[in-house]
Amino acid sequence: MPRREPGEPYYRVDSDEARSIRDGDTEGTVVVDVRRDDEWITGHIEGAVHIPIDDLPDRIEEVPRDKKVLFICAMGVRSGLACEVAFSMGYDTENLYNIEDGTPAWIAGGHPTSYPGYA
List residues with catalytic annotation. 73
Neighbours of 13 (CB within 10 A): 21
Let me know: does 71 contact 44? Beta carbons within 8 Å.
no
In angstroms, the Cα distances linking 89 to 12, 14, 101 are 19, 24, 25
Q: Which of these, 28, 92, 32, 37, lies nearest to 56 by C-alpha position? A: 32
Cα distance between residue 67 and residue 26, in whole Å = 10
- Burial of 61 per CB tally in 10 Å (0-12, 13-18, 19+): exposed
